[in-house]
Structure 1
Amino acid sequence: MAKVKNILSQIFFPKRLESSSHESYSGSCGDHAQWNLNPENGELRITGTGPLYDFFGEKEVPWESHLNHIRKVVVAHGITYIGFQAFSYCKSLSSVQLPDTLTGIGQHAFAYCKSLTSVLLPEGVKHIKDYAFAHCYHLQELTLPTTLKSIGKAAFCSCHGLTRISIPDNAILLGSQVFADCKSLTEVKLPEGLLQLKSNSFTGCISLPSVSLPSSVVYLGNSAFEGCNGFTRIDIPDKIAHIGDRVFADCHALEQITIPHSVHHLGKHIFSGCRSLKTLTVPFPACGTPATFSNFGELFGTTPDIEMRKISQDNETGKETNYYLPHSLSVLRILEGCEVIPSKCLMNCFVLKELHLPSSLYMMGEKAVYGCAGLKTIYCQAAEPASIHADTFGGIRFNVCRIHVPQGSTEKYKKDQHWKYFSQIEEYGTTLQAMNRS
């Protein structure tokens, strides 16, 4: 989490200019827009038509010297756009009233408005740009209009008070870090039609128990759910093609997950720090698909963790690497479609107790399951024994590990030159067979 916090702390926010010694309470803030501040009650009123200026470069925020005194902002009918940095760092701002003529919120427009507790965005708003409400720490209520089409990068990051969010179905463009570090977030409704969750979308949302991903999602960016400690499970749509690095890293409560066949890119260390993971279902390595890996440890990473078990596996260069698997990981299911388990792929995964092999499997490489001394049960779906080497199951207790095979296949396994060393080979019923194929 320290790494996550460091990333978030580096989010760029422009420094505000020094307060001018000349104080003004009214003036122009757009080609056809004016502002007026009541110094007695701290109400800033914007009137006129069209967009406000984007305040950067030589275009200074005209109420800069009053930032700490603005408590309420009222934007009148006719204004169409809140400009870049318009109200950022208004630390006393607690109330915002926006018109139905508004179509867009600019970058950093309300960033660091620490006293803002609720925002009602009117129908008509189409775009919320990068960092628009970032670091509004006490923002608790947020209403988004059905007209919304896009939410920019980190638009609501570090809104620590935000507990629930419903994103309308038109808003299918979400920027990276969009809700990162929203520590109180417990409920999220994502738009139907969403294609991508970009990097760090929900990083550090420690109270989020789950997220229902729309069936349209095909891309999960790096660290999309990293540090979501409340996750116990998540259902991944069967259209997902890309799962980036560390997507579920440090989801300490995650207990089970299934990676679908559709995945064409499977990132590294996606389960790093997942200390409670018990059951993992994966399609690796399906013949002919890019989503393959040479060793199981790559899914869990090399970050030392005293609450996880260290294992050693050979990497692609032949050098030994230490990986850290959860103590709790006991069941590994390999989905149908996998034809070959590469050499040393599951080597030394001694935390595993139950292994499910698909009917499509026809070969297991040298030392593929070597050193998995904790294995007590192997379910083989294939009627014909997969071709294995003498050391494929090296280090397994052949008199303890029980092999379950399809009906009518017992003798084939008992006569195989290598499978025959398992002393307990028995058939399972059709119900279990159907369950494992589903």
Structure 2
Amino acid sequence: MKKLKKLTSLLFLFCCLCFCLILFPQTARAGSLTPTAQDNLNVRLRRTSDLVPVSGGYMRVFHQKNSIGIEYYDNDLKIRSKRKINMELPLWGGFYAGSDGYYLVEGQTNNKENDSAEVIRVIRYDINWKRTGAAAITSNPELFGGEVRTPFDYGCVEMTESNGKLYVVTGHEGYVDSSVGRGHQGFLMAEIDQATMKGKIVSCDLWHSFAQYIKSHGSYLYVLEQSEGSRCTKLSRYDSNTLDCTTIELLPYGGSRTSVWALACYASVDGMAVSSDSVLCVGTSIDQSKYDKVSENTPHNLYLSVTPISDFSEKATATRKLTNFTGGGKSFAGVKITKINDNRFMISWEEYVSDDDRKSSSANDPLSSSTLHYLFVDGKGKSLSKEFTTAAPISDCQPVVKDSKVVYYASNSNTLNFYSINSDNGKADKKTYHIAGDNATWNFKNGILTISGYGPLSISTEENNRYPVSSTNGWFSFSSDSSWKAIKNQIRKVIIKPGITSISERAFVYLPELKEVDIQKGVTKIGKEAFAYCDKLSRINIPDTVKSIGMDAVWCGYYWSDSSHAYFCKIHAPYGSYAVTYAKKNNISYACNISGAAVTGIKKTYTYTGSDIKPVPTVTLGKAKLSGINDYHVTYQNNKKAGTATLKIIGDNHFYGTITLNFQITPAATPKPQTAKTFRDAYNIYTVNATGTSVALKGPRSRNTVTAKIPATVKANGKTYKVTAIAANAFKNCKNLKQVTISGNITSIGAGAFQGCTSLRTVKIGSRVSVIGTKAFCDCKALTSVTIQTGRLTSKSSGKYIFTRAGQNNYKKLTVKVPASRLSSYKKLFQSQGLSTQARVIK
């Protein structure tokens, strides 16, 4: 019994876990969740983005391809959770937050022109997004224009509620007119009973209706419409009980109709709000009285029309311009009107500016290149404030009001900004999200774009180019561009941090200044053209975790003469990795990291020899033995004296990286000490060196010697020794010494060897001398001639003050003869060692 109870508990826990996974399909590591980037900068008739105030914060709803994204934020606009709902029909309509739940409107084409075919579906969900019902809307052939071939055609999808019914207004295309080969477009209004979720088309026409808005107030429905067929912006009022309709003209359009095809209106209809007194409508238009003389320089202006509810008539309607442009072809990227309360409304807009003329954005806010204008009016349309501006774009999202703040969001492919505008004083604030995937973010500093987080790096490449809502410019051209458009000319390096698992297609295309990419361990897949069309890209580091690379991932966009793709970038990757295989297959230059190679041939310890110790390594990478000529080179440090020596193996050509190894140099064994031997000849005293093969001249037998001839060899006890050195102080203070000849076997002259020989006039130094000690000829004041045959002297091998005060009795008489090849260098050397500048140095 106990065992059964335990199994029942485990089953219950398992079921709870499964329920949570279904109810909350996406979980994330704490603090890592990022919003979804959804480009909503182009203001469309059908909104793709909505924001809803909810308890504890906000709900964001947006359309993406075949699904609806839903995200929740707290009151500080920090994301808390996210999920998706798949669409049921292929055409997106719109979203509405109703009194009894949330509504999604979707549709499908009716190319077979079947009157009973479902063309629009209105789906209701509760506040937890549980589906609670749906209304299927079909054509209504009993009404003129009630036949629907394509729903939502050239129309908004706007909704309101009244008396237990949901009303949807939009555009549609009717059945094909054989005389013109296609269907006519027009207005459509559907009514859905919220209790039964039954719906039908209740009002429609085929008069080219290109924008539709609906609001309810009291017992009336107000519908604002751009009716090209009627050649005006019109406002209609429906009795919500009988649907009897009264229509007034707000703005007549110029132009004369000569065919069934639509004429340009040069106007936009952008929004409507209702106060207790009036219906407020906003839009843009040219001066319609000049319609027939329109040119690309003809400007649009923003207008506000105010129609009293108590006197619903054209005569009572007042229209005023909120801008006063007179030329330059001025147009608008979008216009919004937001109801704050019954006597305060915010009108916001952005003037359209082409990408070429747009101001630069800040590095970490790509959306800051736009300027949002806004002002406040009362319920009768009278101004309550000055015109404010802030660095922000208008967007597809209709602003909402919560806690005296007007809030909306704008997004491009990698940045999401929430904007909050204080409805009392107009102060604007924002919260920015940098988005590089569901759980990935980015940062840009000092030319380096860094991607961090975890999971796939996913940058949208869908180009939603911005257009004005209406313009006299006949056409707009856009070129393919980077998703990082705002900072593309500043990015020099991209770093993909550990935790990122894949890089999406075309994620970093068209970055003209990009030179280096560093992809760190963890990434397994690089998408097609991920770093394509980056002309200056010269290096990309790819780890061995990458197992898939898409076509043309680093293609520069150019071709060789044989039409093959040109690659200027070198792939740096571990030997034997997929990236190297990819490089070889596509004729891309590559280099492998040798830091993990096996190295043999280097002992731990070597014995001091007095010369540089340079052990030769054998380097093996995988199964391949690398060449010390083509694949790497070796450098050594501290490799002569006893101690720790360093060997570095540095990759060349197809290899890069460094292997650093240390080895020890131990002192040589100390030889047994030998007793120094001293002997004399007729003139000098000599000391035999430790090896017993040569001697050093220790000094003269007499301190009164006049001439010193230093022999090349000397015999003692039947043995001949080379005389290789003159000891320190050997002839010091020999006051009578006048002439010195140093033989060719002498290699060093000790410090002070001839110091103070005040009568010394002539010195001849042999060809093998490489060392002259400090003060060797110091204070030889009578010196007039020095002949130096050796060319081996350097500043390092010569002591200080060698010729200080030499020839002081008459510096001008002193001549120093040196090898011709060393004239310049010896002159500088000897003068630095005390030789008077008055003395002559000749060759």
TM-score by length of 2: 0.25
Higher strand fraction (1 or 2): 2
Name which one, 1 or 2, has greater alpha-carbon Rg.
Answer: 2
Q: Which has the higher contact order (CA 8 A, sep 6+)?
A: 1
TM-score by length of 1: 0.41
